[in-house]
Amino acid sequence: MKITAVTPIPVTVELGREPMSFSFVRIETDEGLVGYGEACDSYAATYAGVIGEIITQVLSPLLVGREFVVVEPVVEHLRLATRRRLGEKGVAAHARSAVEIALWDLVAQAAGRSVSEQLGQVRDRVNVYASSTFLDEGPAQFHADLLAPLLERGVRYAKVRVGPRWQQDLRTLTELRDLLPDDLELMIDGSDTFTLPTAMQVAERLGDLGIRWFEEPIPQANRAAIAALSARSSVPIAYGEHLYGREDMLDALANDGISVVQPDASTCGIAEARAVAGIATFYGARVVPHICAGPVALAANLAVAASVHNINLVEYPFFLEPAWEALGGGKQFGIEAIEDGSLAVPSGPGLGVRLPEDAATTYPYRLPGTRIVGTVGGVLDRFVGDR
Ligand SMILES: [Mg+2]
Protein backbone atom coordinates (compact mmCIF):
# COMPACT_ATOMS: atom_id res chain seq x y z
CA MET A 1 0.00 0.00 0.00
CA LYS A 2 1.42 3.37 -1.01
CA ILE A 3 0.44 6.66 0.65
CA THR A 4 -0.78 9.14 -1.96
CA ALA A 5 -2.17 12.04 0.09
CA VAL A 6 -2.12 13.30 3.69
CA THR A 7 -4.67 15.99 4.48
CA PRO A 8 -5.27 17.65 7.85
CA ILE A 9 -8.90 18.51 8.56
CA PRO A 10 -9.36 20.93 11.47
CA VAL A 11 -13.00 21.65 12.34
CA THR A 12 -14.91 23.62 14.96
CA VAL A 13 -18.23 22.43 16.33
CA GLU A 14 -20.69 24.53 18.35
CA LEU A 15 -21.44 22.70 21.57
CA GLY A 16 -23.79 23.81 24.32
CA ARG A 17 -20.98 25.03 26.56
CA GLU A 18 -18.72 26.60 23.96
CA PRO A 19 -17.27 26.01 20.47
CA MET A 20 -14.72 23.20 20.40
CA SER A 21 -12.13 22.38 17.78
CA PHE A 22 -11.13 18.93 16.58
CA SER A 23 -8.03 17.95 14.65
CA PHE A 24 -8.39 15.18 12.06
CA VAL A 25 -6.16 13.80 9.35
CA ARG A 26 -7.18 11.91 6.21
CA ILE A 27 -4.67 9.58 4.55
CA GLU A 28 -5.31 8.16 1.07
CA THR A 29 -3.57 5.21 -0.58
CA ASP A 30 -3.04 3.93 -4.12
CA GLU A 31 -5.40 1.04 -3.33
CA GLY A 32 -8.28 3.45 -2.84
CA LEU A 33 -8.45 3.04 0.92
CA VAL A 34 -8.94 6.12 3.09
CA GLY A 35 -7.88 6.19 6.74
CA TYR A 36 -8.74 8.76 9.40
CA GLY A 37 -6.77 9.81 12.44
CA GLU A 38 -7.29 12.43 15.11
CA ALA A 39 -5.11 14.35 17.55
CA CYS A 40 -6.25 15.50 20.95
CA ASP A 41 -4.78 18.62 22.50
CA SER A 42 -6.21 17.54 25.82
CA TYR A 43 -8.99 20.06 25.70
CA ALA A 44 -9.85 18.69 22.26
CA ALA A 45 -7.17 20.24 20.08
CA THR A 46 -7.78 23.86 20.91
CA TYR A 47 -5.29 24.88 18.21
CA ALA A 48 -6.27 22.26 15.64
CA GLY A 49 -4.91 24.47 12.86
CA VAL A 50 -1.42 24.35 14.40
CA ILE A 51 -1.48 20.55 14.44
CA GLY A 52 -2.73 20.71 10.84
CA GLU A 53 0.26 22.84 9.84
CA ILE A 54 2.65 20.32 11.40
CA ILE A 55 1.00 17.56 9.40
CA THR A 56 1.16 19.59 6.16
CA GLN A 57 4.65 21.06 6.52
CA VAL A 58 6.49 18.33 8.41
CA LEU A 59 4.82 14.91 8.28
CA SER A 60 3.13 14.81 4.88
CA PRO A 61 6.41 15.19 2.90
CA LEU A 62 7.80 12.22 4.84
CA LEU A 63 4.74 10.10 4.12
CA VAL A 64 3.53 10.71 0.57
CA GLY A 65 4.96 8.11 -1.82
CA ARG A 66 5.93 5.73 0.99
CA GLU A 67 4.99 2.03 0.76
CA PHE A 68 3.95 0.35 4.00
CA VAL A 69 2.44 -2.88 5.30
CA VAL A 70 2.77 -2.30 9.05
CA VAL A 71 2.53 0.88 11.10
CA GLU A 72 5.43 0.91 13.56
CA PRO A 73 8.38 1.52 11.17
CA VAL A 74 6.56 4.43 9.53
CA VAL A 75 5.87 6.12 12.86
CA GLU A 76 9.41 5.51 14.08
CA HIS A 77 10.70 7.07 10.86
CA LEU A 78 8.54 10.15 11.48
CA ARG A 79 9.84 10.44 15.04
CA LEU A 80 13.50 10.03 14.15
CA ALA A 81 13.29 12.33 11.13
CA THR A 82 11.71 15.18 13.09
CA ARG A 83 12.93 14.91 16.68
CA ARG A 84 15.73 17.47 16.39
CA ARG A 85 13.87 19.81 14.05
CA LEU A 86 10.42 19.75 15.58
CA GLY A 87 10.81 18.03 18.94
CA GLU A 88 9.18 14.82 20.09
CA LYS A 89 6.56 16.04 22.54
CA GLY A 90 3.72 18.51 22.73
CA VAL A 91 1.93 19.25 19.47
CA ALA A 92 4.57 17.24 17.59
CA ALA A 93 3.42 14.12 19.42
CA HIS A 94 -0.23 15.02 18.89
CA ALA A 95 0.27 15.38 15.14
CA ARG A 96 2.28 12.14 14.93
CA SER A 97 -0.46 10.35 16.90
CA ALA A 98 -3.13 11.48 14.45
CA VAL A 99 -1.09 10.06 11.57
CA GLU A 100 -0.44 6.82 13.44
CA ILE A 101 -4.14 6.30 14.14
CA ALA A 102 -4.93 6.82 10.43
CA LEU A 103 -2.25 4.29 9.48
CA TRP A 104 -3.75 1.70 11.88
CA ASP A 105 -7.15 2.42 10.30
CA LEU A 106 -5.66 1.70 6.86
CA VAL A 107 -3.77 -1.46 7.86
CA ALA A 108 -6.83 -2.91 9.56
CA GLN A 109 -9.09 -2.01 6.62
CA ALA A 110 -6.65 -3.70 4.24
CA ALA A 111 -6.79 -6.83 6.40
CA GLY A 112 -10.59 -6.71 6.61
CA ARG A 113 -10.48 -6.44 10.40
CA SER A 114 -11.16 -3.90 13.11
CA VAL A 115 -8.19 -2.04 14.59
CA SER A 116 -8.76 -3.82 17.93
CA GLU A 117 -8.66 -7.21 16.16
CA GLN A 118 -5.50 -6.11 14.37
CA LEU A 119 -3.96 -5.26 17.76
CA GLY A 120 -5.18 -8.47 19.42
CA GLN A 121 -8.66 -8.02 20.83
CA VAL A 122 -9.28 -9.37 24.33
CA ARG A 123 -12.73 -7.85 24.99
CA ASP A 124 -15.56 -6.53 22.85
CA ARG A 125 -17.01 -4.06 25.37
CA VAL A 126 -15.26 -1.48 27.54
CA ASN A 127 -16.56 0.10 30.77
CA VAL A 128 -16.81 3.88 30.74
CA TYR A 129 -16.66 6.48 33.47
CA ALA A 130 -18.84 9.55 33.21
CA SER A 131 -16.42 12.48 32.92
CA SER A 132 -18.44 15.44 34.16
CA THR A 133 -17.94 19.08 34.79
CA PHE A 134 -16.51 21.53 37.35
CA LEU A 135 -18.17 21.43 40.75
CA ASP A 136 -18.58 25.22 40.80
CA GLU A 137 -21.02 25.02 37.89
CA GLY A 138 -23.93 24.16 40.18
CA PRO A 139 -25.14 22.66 43.46
CA ALA A 140 -24.87 18.96 44.23
CA GLN A 141 -28.29 18.19 42.76
CA PHE A 142 -27.27 19.82 39.44
CA HIS A 143 -24.34 17.39 39.21
CA ALA A 144 -26.46 14.40 40.24
CA ASP A 145 -28.96 15.31 37.50
CA LEU A 146 -26.17 15.53 34.91
CA LEU A 147 -25.01 12.02 35.83
CA ALA A 148 -28.48 10.46 36.11
CA PRO A 149 -28.88 9.43 32.42
CA LEU A 150 -25.55 7.62 32.58
CA LEU A 151 -26.37 5.85 35.83
CA GLU A 152 -29.58 4.68 34.17
CA ARG A 153 -27.40 3.01 31.53
CA GLY A 154 -25.51 1.11 34.23
CA VAL A 155 -22.47 3.39 34.50
CA ARG A 156 -20.80 2.84 37.90
CA TYR A 157 -17.88 5.28 37.66
CA ALA A 158 -17.90 9.09 37.49
CA LYS A 159 -15.54 12.04 37.77
CA VAL A 160 -16.12 15.69 38.64
CA ARG A 161 -13.67 18.60 38.71
CA VAL A 162 -12.45 20.70 41.58
CA GLY A 163 -11.12 24.18 40.81
CA PRO A 164 -9.63 27.22 42.48
CA ARG A 165 -12.73 27.62 44.68
CA TRP A 166 -11.88 24.32 46.26
CA GLN A 167 -13.38 24.94 49.71
CA GLN A 168 -16.85 25.42 48.21
CA ASP A 169 -16.21 22.60 45.70
CA LEU A 170 -15.48 20.20 48.58
CA ARG A 171 -18.75 21.15 50.29
CA THR A 172 -20.61 20.46 47.03
CA LEU A 173 -18.71 17.19 46.60
CA THR A 174 -19.66 16.02 50.11
CA GLU A 175 -23.33 16.59 49.31
CA LEU A 176 -23.00 14.99 45.88
CA ARG A 177 -21.39 11.85 47.34
CA ASP A 178 -24.53 11.35 49.45
CA LEU A 179 -26.81 11.79 46.42
CA LEU A 180 -25.04 9.10 44.38
CA PRO A 181 -25.29 5.30 44.79
CA ASP A 182 -22.87 3.82 47.34
CA ASP A 183 -21.37 1.48 44.75
CA LEU A 184 -20.56 4.30 42.30
CA GLU A 185 -16.82 4.98 42.15
CA LEU A 186 -16.23 8.72 42.24
CA MET A 187 -13.04 10.39 41.05
CA ILE A 188 -11.75 13.99 41.10
CA ASP A 189 -9.84 15.94 38.46
CA GLY A 190 -7.75 18.87 39.74
CA SER A 191 -6.88 20.15 36.22
CA ASP A 192 -3.27 21.08 37.11
CA THR A 193 -4.39 23.73 39.57
CA PHE A 194 -2.94 23.51 43.07
CA THR A 195 0.16 24.11 45.13
CA LEU A 196 1.34 21.29 47.36
CA PRO A 197 -0.18 22.64 50.62
CA THR A 198 -3.62 23.01 49.03
CA ALA A 199 -3.39 19.69 47.21
CA MET A 200 -2.56 18.04 50.55
CA GLN A 201 -5.66 19.52 52.20
CA VAL A 202 -7.89 18.57 49.27
CA ALA A 203 -6.47 15.03 49.16
CA GLU A 204 -7.16 14.52 52.85
CA ARG A 205 -10.82 15.41 52.37
CA LEU A 206 -11.02 13.24 49.26
CA GLY A 207 -9.67 10.34 51.30
CA ASP A 208 -12.44 10.81 53.87
CA LEU A 209 -15.00 10.69 51.04
CA GLY A 210 -13.59 7.48 49.53
CA ILE A 211 -12.61 9.17 46.27
CA ARG A 212 -10.86 6.66 44.00
CA TRP A 213 -8.28 8.98 42.43
CA PHE A 214 -7.12 12.61 42.46
CA GLU A 215 -6.13 13.52 38.91
CA GLU A 216 -3.58 16.19 37.98
CA PRO A 217 -3.74 17.93 41.36
CA ILE A 218 -0.51 19.88 40.77
CA PRO A 219 0.98 21.27 37.50
CA GLN A 220 2.86 18.35 36.04
CA ALA A 221 6.17 20.21 35.83
CA ASN A 222 6.24 20.44 39.65
CA ARG A 223 7.71 16.98 39.99
CA ALA A 224 8.96 17.21 43.56
CA ALA A 225 5.56 18.40 44.75
CA ILE A 226 3.78 15.54 42.99
CA ALA A 227 6.15 13.03 44.53
CA ALA A 228 5.58 14.52 47.99
CA LEU A 229 1.81 14.43 47.56
CA SER A 230 1.84 10.85 46.22
CA ALA A 231 3.88 9.72 49.21
CA ARG A 232 1.44 11.19 51.72
CA SER A 233 -1.99 10.99 50.05
CA SER A 234 -4.32 8.11 50.85
CA VAL A 235 -6.08 8.83 47.55
CA PRO A 236 -4.27 7.46 44.47
CA ILE A 237 -2.74 10.20 42.31
CA ALA A 238 -3.42 10.10 38.55
CA TYR A 239 -1.49 11.63 35.64
CA GLY A 240 -0.99 10.86 31.98
CA GLU A 241 -3.14 12.90 29.62
CA HIS A 242 -0.19 15.25 29.06
CA LEU A 243 2.53 12.58 29.05
CA TYR A 244 4.01 11.52 25.73
CA GLY A 245 4.79 7.86 25.95
CA ARG A 246 6.65 5.23 27.88
CA GLU A 247 9.66 7.32 28.95
CA ASP A 248 7.48 10.02 30.53
CA MET A 249 5.20 7.46 32.10
CA LEU A 250 8.02 5.34 33.51
CA ASP A 251 9.44 8.48 35.09
CA ALA A 252 6.08 9.41 36.61
CA LEU A 253 5.56 5.91 38.00
CA ALA A 254 9.08 5.37 39.29
CA ASN A 255 9.92 8.85 40.56
CA ASP A 256 6.62 10.66 41.16
CA GLY A 257 4.81 7.75 42.80
CA ILE A 258 1.61 8.06 40.78
CA SER A 259 -0.64 4.98 40.82
CA VAL A 260 -3.19 5.68 38.08
CA VAL A 261 -1.93 6.30 34.53
CA GLN A 262 -4.03 7.87 31.79
CA PRO A 263 -2.44 7.49 28.35
CA ASP A 264 -4.36 8.77 25.32
CA ALA A 265 -3.84 7.24 21.87
CA SER A 266 -4.55 10.64 20.31
CA THR A 267 -1.78 12.25 22.37
CA CYS A 268 0.99 9.64 22.47
CA GLY A 269 -0.16 7.18 19.79
CA ILE A 270 -1.75 3.73 19.91
CA ALA A 271 1.52 1.79 20.24
CA GLU A 272 2.83 4.02 23.06
CA ALA A 273 -0.47 3.86 24.93
CA ARG A 274 -0.29 0.06 24.85
CA ALA A 275 3.37 0.11 25.92
CA VAL A 276 2.50 2.39 28.85
CA ALA A 277 -0.12 -0.12 30.00
CA GLY A 278 2.55 -2.81 29.99
CA ILE A 279 4.92 -0.72 32.09
CA ALA A 280 2.15 0.16 34.55
CA THR A 281 1.68 -3.50 35.48
CA PHE A 282 5.17 -3.54 37.06
CA TYR A 283 4.11 -0.74 39.41
CA GLY A 284 0.67 -2.16 40.21
CA ALA A 285 -0.81 0.99 38.69
CA ARG A 286 -4.30 1.28 37.30
CA VAL A 287 -4.50 2.18 33.57
CA VAL A 288 -7.51 4.26 32.49
CA PRO A 289 -7.14 5.96 29.08
CA HIS A 290 -7.89 9.66 28.82
CA ILE A 291 -10.51 10.62 26.21
CA CYS A 292 -11.53 14.19 25.40
CA ALA A 293 -11.75 14.57 21.63
CA GLY A 294 -13.80 13.50 18.61
CA PRO A 295 -15.08 10.08 17.50
CA VAL A 296 -11.88 8.94 15.77
CA ALA A 297 -9.82 9.48 18.94
CA LEU A 298 -12.54 7.76 20.95
CA ALA A 299 -12.49 4.75 18.61
CA ALA A 300 -8.69 4.60 18.78
CA ASN A 301 -8.72 4.60 22.58
CA LEU A 302 -11.45 1.94 22.63
CA ALA A 303 -9.23 -0.17 20.36
CA VAL A 304 -6.39 0.23 22.86
CA ALA A 305 -8.63 -0.70 25.80
CA ALA A 306 -10.07 -3.66 23.90
CA SER A 307 -6.61 -5.05 23.17
CA VAL A 308 -4.88 -4.66 26.56
CA HIS A 309 -5.64 -7.00 29.46
CA ASN A 310 -5.17 -4.47 32.24
CA ILE A 311 -7.46 -1.77 30.82
CA ASN A 312 -11.15 -2.23 31.57
CA LEU A 313 -12.23 1.40 31.98
CA VAL A 314 -11.97 4.52 29.80
CA GLU A 315 -12.95 8.17 30.19
CA TYR A 316 -16.32 9.14 28.69
CA PRO A 317 -16.79 12.93 28.32
CA PHE A 318 -20.50 12.65 27.63
CA PHE A 319 -20.93 16.37 26.85
CA LEU A 320 -19.15 15.65 23.55
CA GLU A 321 -21.92 13.34 22.32
CA PRO A 322 -23.28 15.85 19.75
CA ALA A 323 -19.79 16.23 18.26
CA TRP A 324 -19.24 12.47 18.08
CA GLU A 325 -22.51 12.07 16.23
CA ALA A 326 -21.87 14.98 13.84
CA LEU A 327 -18.30 13.94 13.04
CA GLY A 328 -18.91 10.36 11.91
CA GLY A 329 -19.46 8.43 15.12
CA GLY A 330 -23.19 8.17 14.52
CA LYS A 331 -25.13 6.78 17.47
CA GLN A 332 -22.56 4.14 18.43
CA PHE A 333 -20.87 6.24 21.13
CA GLY A 334 -23.93 8.04 22.54
CA ILE A 335 -25.34 7.59 26.04
CA GLU A 336 -28.14 5.46 24.59
CA ALA A 337 -25.51 3.05 23.20
CA ILE A 338 -24.16 2.32 26.70
CA GLU A 339 -25.33 -1.03 28.04
CA ASP A 340 -24.58 -2.24 31.55
CA GLY A 341 -22.09 0.61 31.86
CA SER A 342 -20.05 -0.30 28.79
CA LEU A 343 -19.64 0.68 25.14
CA ALA A 344 -19.24 -1.82 22.32
CA VAL A 345 -15.87 -1.69 20.60
CA PRO A 346 -16.38 -0.77 16.91
CA SER A 347 -16.32 -3.92 14.80
CA GLY A 348 -14.66 -2.26 11.83
CA PRO A 349 -13.35 -2.64 9.25
CA GLY A 350 -10.63 -0.32 10.50
CA LEU A 351 -11.59 2.07 13.28
CA GLY A 352 -15.28 1.85 12.41
CA VAL A 353 -15.54 5.66 12.14
CA ARG A 354 -15.32 7.74 8.99
CA LEU A 355 -15.29 11.52 9.09
CA PRO A 356 -18.07 12.87 6.83
CA GLU A 357 -16.68 14.10 3.49
CA ASP A 358 -18.20 17.53 4.06
CA ALA A 359 -16.95 17.96 7.65
CA ALA A 360 -14.52 20.77 6.78
CA THR A 361 -17.20 22.83 5.04
CA THR A 362 -20.05 21.99 7.44
CA TYR A 363 -17.93 22.77 10.53
CA PRO A 364 -15.34 25.33 9.38
CA TYR A 365 -12.37 25.72 11.68
CA ARG A 366 -12.17 28.91 13.66
CA LEU A 367 -9.22 30.04 15.73
CA PRO A 368 -10.05 29.92 19.43
CA GLY A 369 -8.56 33.37 19.86
CA THR A 370 -8.76 34.56 23.43
CA ARG A 371 -11.71 32.32 24.28
CA ILE A 372 -11.56 31.34 27.93
CA VAL A 373 -11.62 27.65 28.74
CA GLY A 374 -12.09 26.78 32.38
CA THR A 375 -14.55 27.06 35.22
CA VAL A 376 -17.58 29.32 35.15
CA GLY A 377 -15.53 31.80 37.15
CA GLY A 378 -13.48 32.43 34.02
CA VAL A 379 -10.08 31.02 34.80
CA LEU A 380 -7.73 32.33 32.13
CA ASP A 381 -5.13 29.68 32.73
CA ARG A 382 -5.18 26.38 34.59
CA PHE A 383 -1.92 27.19 36.34
CA VAL A 384 -3.48 29.53 38.83
CA GLY A 385 -2.16 28.07 42.06
CA ASP A 386 -4.35 28.96 45.01
CA ARG A 387 -6.53 31.84 46.00
MG1 LIG B 1 -8.12 15.25 33.08
The more confident residue out of 192 and 335 is 335
Residues 155 and 280 in one domain: yes
Question: How many structural domains comprise the chain?
Answer: 2
Question: Is 361 inside a domain boundary?
Answer: no
Question: Is 380 inside a domain boundary?
Answer: no
> Which residue range(s) make up the domain with 34?
3-114
62 CA → ligand 1 middle, Å: 33
Confidence of residue 118 (pLDDT cuts 50, 70, 90): very high
Residues in CB range of 363: below 8 A, 6 or more apart: 11, 12, 13, 326, 327
CA angle 260, 264, 267 (to 5 degrees): 130
Question: Is 68 inside a domain boundary?
Answer: yes
Confidence of residue 97 (pLDDT cuts 50, 70, 90): very high
291 CA → ligand 1 middle, Å: 9
Q: Average pLDDT of the chain?
A: 93
Q: What percent of the chain has pLDDT over 70?
A: 94
Residues 134 and 68 in one domain: no
Q: Which segments of the chain does DSSP mark as H helices, in order?
A: 48-54, 60-63, 72-82, 91-111, 115-119, 140-152, 166-179, 196-208, 223-232, 246-255, 265-268, 270-282, 295-306, 321-324, 359-362
Q: What is the pLDDT of residue 271?
A: 96
CA angle 28, 87, 226 (to 5 degrees): 115
Q: Which of 114, 144, 171 is the endpoint of a domain?
A: 114
215 CA → ligand 1 middle, Å: 6
55 CA → ligand 1 middle, Å: 25
Residues in CB range of 250: below 8 A, 6 or more apart: 279
Question: Is 384 inside a domain boundary?
Answer: no
Give yes or no for residue 382 having a pLDDT over 90: no
362 CA → ligand 1 middle, Å: 29
Question: Is 355 inside a domain boundary?
Answer: no
260 CA → ligand 1 middle, Å: 12
Residues 44 and 130 in one domain: no
Taking only the tens place, the pLDDT of each residue in 206-264 is: 999 999 999 999 988 899 999 999 999 999 999 999 889 899 999 999 999 999 999 99
Taking only the tens place, the pLDDT of each residue in 311-340 is: 999 999 999 999 999 999 999 999 999 999
Q: What is the pLDDT of residue 55?
A: 98
Give yes or no for residue 295 having a pLDDT over 70: yes
Residues 97 and 241 in one domain: no
Taking only the tens place, the pLDDT of each residue in 32-86 is: 999 999 999 665 457 899 999 999 999 999 999 999 999 999 999 999 999 999 9
77 CA → ligand 1 middle, Å: 30
Residues 279 and 140 in one domain: yes
Mean local confidence (pLDDT), 121-133: 97
4 CA → ligand 1 middle, Å: 36
Sign of CA dihedral 71, 74, 75, 76: positive
189 CA → ligand 1 middle, Å: 6
Q: What is the pLDDT of residue 381?
A: 47
Pairing of strands 3-14, 19-29: antiparallel
Confidence of residue 372 (pLDDT cuts 50, 70, 90): low
Give yes or no for residue 107 having a pLDDT over 50: yes
Q: What is the pLDDT of residue 162?
A: 94
Q: Phi, psi (5° rounding) for residue 279? A: -65, -40
Question: Is 46 inside a domain boundary?
Answer: yes
30 CA → ligand 1 middle, Å: 39
Closest CA to 296 of 264, 272, 273: 264
Question: Is 177 inside a domain boundary?
Answer: yes
d(CA 373, CA 70) in angstroms, rounded, equals: 39
Confidence of residue 376 (pLDDT cuts 50, 70, 90): very low
167 CA → ligand 1 middle, Å: 20
328 CA → ligand 1 middle, Å: 24
Residues 320 and 194 in one domain: yes
85 CA → ligand 1 middle, Å: 29
Residues 63 and 135 in one domain: no
Q: Which of 114, 146, 173 is the endpoint of a domain?
A: 114
217 CA → ligand 1 middle, Å: 10
Closest CA to 297 of 88, 33, 60, 104: 104
Mean local confidence (pLDDT), 193-209: 95
Residues 151 and 253 in one domain: yes
Question: Is 314 inside a domain boundary?
Answer: yes
DSSP state of 340: T
Residues 148 and 249 in one domain: yes
Residues 125 and 203 in one domain: yes
Residues 187 and 65 in one domain: no
Q: What is the pLDDT of residue 370?
A: 66
Sign of CA dihedral 20, 42, 296, 185: negative
238 CA → ligand 1 middle, Å: 9
Q: Which of 114-118, 138-142, 238-242 has the lowest mean pLDDT?
A: 238-242
CATH number for the domain harbouring residue 11: 3.30.390.10
d(CA 15, CA 10) in angstroms, rounded, equals: 16
191 CA → ligand 1 middle, Å: 6
What secondary structure does DSSP assign to 108-159, as a single string? HHHHTSBHHHHH----SEEEEEEEEEEGGGS-HHHHHHHHHHHHHTT--EEE
351 CA → ligand 1 middle, Å: 24
CATH number for the domain harbouring residue 180: 3.20.20.120
10 CA → ligand 1 middle, Å: 22
Confidence of residue 193 (pLDDT cuts 50, 70, 90): confident
Farthest-apart Cα atoms in the chain, separation: 59
319 CA → ligand 1 middle, Å: 14
Q: What is the pLDDT of residue 45?
A: 55
233 CA → ligand 1 middle, Å: 19
Q: Which of 114, 146, 170 is the endpoint of a domain?
A: 114
300 CA → ligand 1 middle, Å: 18
d(CA 216, CA 207) in angstroms, rounded, equals: 16
28 CA → ligand 1 middle, Å: 33
Q: What percent of the chain has pLDDT over 90?
A: 86
313 CA → ligand 1 middle, Å: 14
Q: What is the pLDDT of residue 348?
A: 84
d(CA 91, CA 14) in angstroms, rounded, equals: 23
Q: What is the pLDDT of residue 277?
A: 97
190 CA → ligand 1 middle, Å: 8
Are 333 and 320 contacting, i.e. CB atoms less than 8 angstroms apart?
no
Residues 82 and 230 in one domain: no
